[in-house]
Amino acid sequence: MDPVDRRVWLDGTEVAFSRKEFDLLHALISRAGEVVSRDDLMREVWNTTFWTSSKTIDVHLGWIRRKLQDDSRSPHLITTLRGRGLRFETEAPVRSP
């Protein structure tokens, strides 16, 4: 991810993101390994302290996961910690044989 030029690559191929998708992804990557609360994301990405919609983050997150080929049923890049927030993972998932 290049935050200055607002560009993202996956396996050497550039992936296009909308402004809000990029901002959400950047908010998570900049704190990789840490849990980021939905309240913090709403403040940082949408510049608001109130929820415009309970699904705003989920919808954008779904688009990001699709573009990064991160299966929403079993995500390995961005995980949801119920009641706590989201985390961009820093380690590869452990695969079962």
* Structural domain contains residue 70: yes
List the CATH number of the domain containing 30.
1.10.10.10
Range of the domain at 70: 19-88
Q: Which residue has the higher pLDDT, 45 or 53?
A: 45
* E strand intervals along 1-97: 8-10, 13-15, 78-81, 85-88
* Structural domain contains residue 5: no
Identify the CA nearest to 87 among candidates 78, 76, 97, 96.
78
Give the tokens for residue 90: 């820093």
Q: pTM for the full model?
A: 0.87
Rg of the chain over CA atoms, in angstroms? Answer: 13
User: In this predicted model, what pLDDT tens digit does every residue of 18-38 receive, in sequence order?
Assistant: 999 999 999 999 999 999 999
Query: Residue 68 — very low, low, confident or very high, per pLDDT cuts 50/70/90?
Result: very high
* Structural domain contains residue 11: no
Percent of residues, the chain, with pLDDT higher than 70: 88
